[in-house]
Amino acid sequence: MEKQFIEIDGARMSYIDQGEGFPILLGHSYLWSAEMWKPQIEALSQHFRVLVPDLWGHGQSDLPPATTTDLEALARQHVAFLDALDIERCHLVGLSVGGMWGAVLAAQNPERVDRIVLMDTYLGAEPEATRNYYFSLLDKASGAGEFTDELLDIIVPIFFRTDGLTPPELRDQFRQDMKAFSAEAIRGGIDPMGRVTFGRKDLLNYLSDLPAERTIVLCGDQDKPRPPHESNEMSQLIGCLAAQVPFAGHIANLENPAVVSDFLLNWLPRNA
């Protein structure tokens, strides 16, 4: 999955562009990268053109440009991404922060998006105690210039199912990827993007602008940071269906990839 590059707001955004057909835009989780979607890219690219940008400061994308002040700015930047690739209309599948900016993009640009899949995400403001806790972890990582083993022991389990049955290689690879972040990447990319994500204002008002019949909210049944009750709240505000991915935590597409890939292949029309 070779990366390509495009300039947005004066910074280089890296992305995967694989397959042919109606486009699908995939948004990945904070602290991960476009490669997070590998199982779905392989399945979907047999029938669609799959576009997966790296979030600023993640993967091979540059550190966030100064214009990246909030999730609405991220949504605008991803519209610019679509414009640069001459993508007039696409399906959108966003997980975690990818679902946050994705929902804003879809609400503000209804003519650009056909089907919308919001996964393991929440557009309400982060509870104050949780936000302050996450900010304290970012302070420690930026201060140390690395994700120490002590921090990784706290952060890594957040992303996975609670029953401890996640494949060890999945946890280990994520831990290795976190260890590989440089001090510059943490201080200039991971920290500011974390503050944009967890410091977000309440964006739930956007949900009423999404098309109920073309939107669905999915959530891992063991998601800790974005538990199922949040997905249920959002689906009620949209008026759309909600479903849980069994045996999965926050990164539901990797903990139960077959279920997620099969759902997307069945639910996303190939000619929209």
pLDDT in tens, the chain (272 residues): 899 999 999 999 999 999 999 999 999 999 999 999 999 999 999 999 999 999 999 999 999 999 999 999 999 999 999 999 999 999 999 999 999 999 999 999 999 999 999 999 999 999 999 999 999 999 999 999 999 999 999 999 999 998 989 999 999 999 999 999 999 999 999 999 999 999 999 999 999 999 999 999 999 999 999 999 999 999 999 999 999 999 999 999 999 999 999 999 999 999 87
- What single string gives the DSSP state of each residue in 189-216? IIHHHHHHHHTPPP-GGGGGGS-GGGEE
Which amino acid is located at 176 in the chain? Q
pLDDT at 1: 80
DSSP 184: H
pLDDT at 205: 98
Q: Which residues contact 10 (CB under 8 A, 6 or more apart)?
A: 65
Q: Tell me how far CA of residue 239 lies from CA of 103, 111, 199, 211, in angstroms.
A: 14, 19, 26, 8
Which amino acid is located at 113 in the chain? V
Alpha carbon distance 237, 208 (integer Å): 6
Q: Quick one: which of 233, 193, 238, 194 has its CA closest to 212? A: 238
What is the rounded (10 degree) CA torsion for 159, 161, 165, 166? -30
Residue 166: other Cβ atoms inside 10 A: 22
In sign, the C-alpha dihedral spanning 56, 11, 117, 45 is negative
Residue 131: other Cβ atoms inside 10 A: 16
Phi first, then psi, for residue 117 (nearest 5°) are -120, 115
Do β-strands 11-18 and 49-53 pair in parallel, antiparallel, or remain unpaired?
Answer: antiparallel
Domains and CATH numbers, the chain: 3-267 (3.40.50.1820)
Alpha carbon distance 267, 43 (integer Å): 13
Alpha carbon distance 188, 109 (integer Å): 30
